Amino acid sequence: MTAELIDGKAAAASLRHAVGEAALTLPRKPGLAVVLVGDDPASQVYVGSKEKAAGKANIVGSVRRMPGSSTQEEVLSVVRELAADDHVDGILVQLPLPEGLDADEILSAIPAEKDVDGLTAPSAGALVLGQEGLTPCTPQGSMRLIKAVESDLSGKKAVVVGRSILVGKPLALMLLDANATVTIAHSRTKDLGAVCREADILCVAVGRPEMVTADMIKPGAIVIDVGINRIERDGTRKLVGDVEFDGAREVAGHITPVPGGVGPMTIACLLRNTVVASARRQGVPVPEALL
């Protein structure tokens, strides 16, 4: 068989359109503030993309750019200022921060109701307890792609390869909440291939180029490849995922490509979280299209 591609670009475009329409229904425009410390080139590109995407989705986007020499207290002061601003519904601190800054303390200064990245302890706790909150964007995007293929995950066997707080752990909790039977695998898992072959839904987020190969995939499985790795092959640089795509496509039932799979969903879900946060803060129902 040849797997059907899960088109993350199309799914993201649809969600961003829904977000833009939903934003117009609120009493005031949602506000998203990004804090960018230092001049890391990749971070500059990511933040520029987020700012542009916010404007297209009828969200008031702003970026607080700070020099790499900023102190812990200076960054905390900016985050606390944004936390107190009634017109800011979402705060995102672009990671990684320059060396010497304590990211955990800075992220902890973001109020849970404005934590559109879903990375603070209260947001993680709400996810564990099944309470209302804002969930991390990449796992949320992954779940949306899975459910576009299979709406009912009850009893499905899901394997998440990777246990990071950014993707692996929250994604496992979301799958569990959807009534899947979930296994978390990682670098110390014995016979990783055998574990992966049990999965009806295989999600890979380890940051290792093409680590999961065709022989590790159950025929017909849904494969979600979260990895984005830059490698050099035949003298050219290219992007590949954590799954060896060409081989995996001959075994899986559905698979996300890299690029064009999970990646586009991350910013779309960030925008979705901002509008959801804004609706809750303004005391109006969250637009149904975003639930």
Catalytic residue positions, numbered: 50, 94, 117
Q: Is 228 annotated as a binding residue?
A: yes
Amino acid at 207: G
The residues with which 31 forms a beta bridge, in sequence order, are 60
Q: Is 165 annotated as a binding residue?
A: no
How does strand 254-255 pair with strand 4-5?
parallel
Q: Is 163 annotated as a binding residue?
A: yes
The total of other beta-carbon atoms located within 10 Å of residue 39's CB is: 11
Q: Per the omega criterion (within 30 degrees of 0), is the bond before 170 cis?
A: no
φ, ψ for residue 62, nearest 5 deg: -140, 150
Q: Is 187 annotated as a binding residue?
A: no
| Binding site per annotation, positions for NADP(+) | 162-164, 228
| Binding site per annotation, positions | 162-164, 228
